[in-house]
């Protein structure tokens, strides 16, 4: 029997295949999946093995390959535009990267065996060590937060601004306050200009206006699944995806409308990277 999560992913895949000529926004697809947009992208990757953007592009390229192979009267530029590419050059690059043949080569002599391999989405069997996941009732936490917009590889610039504010203001001292990170999407599957990450520190009173742009916020109360990640922050996504791919399916729990968030129990300038400890919270209904 298929899980509710698998059924929702199939609904989204069907919707994509039926609406290839329309914009396929995160908001629209998360509504189709009846799932919070903060979690949808990770649930999709966990179920399919591809980002939803990559899956949609592949679906459009699949249709384009049929056009090229069986409708020779169509010009390549028209096939490219139908596939939502701005130019034949961009279409040709994406097509060759995917199928190892240019559009004209594929039209002349399609390599169908190779073509079929691009549509095998089953996830590889991974031996995942069971992790100790607990369900907790998280109490609402007032925080001071600074939002990072842009490429994930520039996160440290924003982190430095937040640290500067904490030192100058005294509102959220590192030694006596909790430090959080709130990723609103997965940087591995999100365009740079759409990526958002909040740096946050617990506070006991509202903060004042400041040049760094730090503002008042709150991590809302509610049930959360929590698991501890030990070691480098560079591999934290492995633990995050364990929650989505393994624990969520097995537990039957459902996510609620707030992104997962990290509680940094220690910081990189305090301990060796191998000794870092981070609690990952997944908000559930």
Note the pLDDT of residue 155. 86
CATH of the domain at 219: 3.20.80.10
Q: Which residues contact 169 (CB under 8 A, 6 or more apart)?
A: 207, 208, 210, 214
Q: Do both 109 and 167 map to the same domain?
A: no
Please report whether residue 274 resides in a domain: yes
Q: Which domain holds residue 94?
A: 4-117
Please report whether residue 122 resides in a domain: no
**For 34-43, 87-96, 136-145, which range has the lowest pLDDT when averaged over its residues?**
34-43
Q: Where are the alpha helices (DSSP H) in the chain?
A: 4-18, 26-32, 37-48, 52-70, 76-82, 88-99, 103-108, 112-117, 155-169, 236-242, 248-251
Q: Do both 101 and 193 map to the same domain?
A: no
- Beta strands 261-264 and 222-230, pairing class: unpaired
Q: Does residue 201 carry a pLDDT above 80?
A: yes
Boundary-marking domain end, from 53, 84, 117: 117
Distance separating alpha carbons of residues 248 and 254, to the nearest angstrom: 7
Boundary-marking domain end, from 88, 117, 146: 117
Cα–Cα distances in angstroms (integers) from residue 171 to residues 94, 140, 162, in the given order: 50, 18, 12
Mean pLDDT of all residues in 261-283: 89
Q: Does residue 31 carry a pLDDT above 60?
A: yes
Cα–Cα distances in angstroms (integers) from residue 159 to residues 149, 167, 275, in the given order: 12, 12, 20
| Run of H or E including 226 | strand 222-230
Q: Which residues contact 105 (CB under 8 A, 6 or more apart)?
A: none
Query: pLDDT, tens digit, for every residue of 202-219?
Result: 999 999 999 999 999 999
Please report whether residue 169 resides in a domain: yes
Note the pLDDT of residue 232. 83
Query: pLDDT, tens digit, for every residue of 59-82?
Result: 899 899 988 988 889 899 999 999
CATH of the domain at 89: 1.10.10.60
Q: Tell me how many domains the chain contains.
A: 2
Distance separating alpha carbons of residues 75 and 106, to the nearest angstrom: 14
Q: Do both 97 and 214 map to the same domain?
A: no
Question: Which of 252, 240, 250 is closest to 282 using CA atoms?
Answer: 240
pLDDT band at residue 115, thresholds of 50, 70 and 90?
confident
Q: What is the mean pLDDT of the chain?
A: 89
Please report whether residue 125 resides in a domain: no
Mean pLDDT of all residues in 38-43: 87
Boundary-marking domain end, from 61, 92, 117: 117
Using DSSP's 3-state secondary structure scheme, residue 33 falls into coil
Q: How many CA atoms lie within 13 A of 26 on its CB side?
A: 18
Query: pLDDT, tens digit, for every residue of 9-26?
Result: 888 888 998 899 998 998
Using DSSP's 3-state secondary structure scheme, residue 139 falls into coil
Q: Do both 72 and 213 map to the same domain?
A: no
Please report whether residue 123 resides in a domain: no
Q: Does residue 125 carry a pLDDT above 50?
A: no
pLDDT band at residue 121, thresholds of 50, 70 and 90?
low
**For 47-61, 123-137, 233-247, 257-271, which range has the lowest pLDDT when averaged over its residues?**
123-137
Length of the chain: 285
Q: Does residue 28 carry a pLDDT above 60?
A: yes
pLDDT band at residue 128, thresholds of 50, 70 and 90?
low
């Amino acid at each position: 029997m298929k899980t509710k999560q698998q059924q929702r992913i199939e609904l989204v895949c069907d919707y994509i295949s039926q609406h290839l000529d329309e914009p396929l926004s995160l908001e629209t697809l998360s509504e189709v999946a009846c799932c919070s947009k903060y979690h949808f992208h990770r649930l999709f990757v966990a179920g399919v093995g591809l980002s939803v953007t990559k899956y949609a592009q592949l679906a459009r390229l699949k249709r384009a390959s049929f056009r090229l192979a069986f409708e020779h009267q169509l010009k390549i530029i028209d096939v490219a535009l139908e596939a939502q590419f701005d130019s034949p050059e961009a279409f040709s690059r994406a097509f060759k990267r995917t199928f190892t043949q240019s559009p004209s080569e594929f039209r002349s002599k399609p390599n169908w065996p190779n073509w079929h391999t691009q549509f095998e989405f089953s996830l590889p069997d991974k031996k995942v060590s069971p992790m100790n996941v607990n369900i907790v009732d998280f109490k609402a936490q007032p925080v001071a937060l600074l939002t990072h917009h842009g490429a994930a590889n520039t996160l440290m610039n924003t982190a430095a601004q937040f640290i500067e504010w904490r030192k100058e203001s005294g509102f959220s001292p590192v030694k006596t306050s909790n430090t959080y990170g709130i990723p609103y999407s997965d940087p591995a599957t999100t365009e740079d200009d759409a990526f958002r990450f909040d740096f946050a520190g617990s506070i006991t009173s509202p903060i004042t206006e400041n040049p760094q742009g730090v503002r008042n916020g709150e991590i809302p109360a509610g049930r959360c699944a929590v698991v501890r990640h030990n070691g480098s922050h560079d591999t934290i996504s492995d633990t995050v995806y364990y929650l989505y791919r393994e624990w969520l399916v097995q537990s039957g729990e459902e996510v609620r409308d707030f992104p997962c968030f990290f509680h940094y129990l220690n910081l990189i300038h305090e301990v060796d990277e191998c000794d870092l400890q981070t609690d990952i919270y997944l908000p559930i209904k």
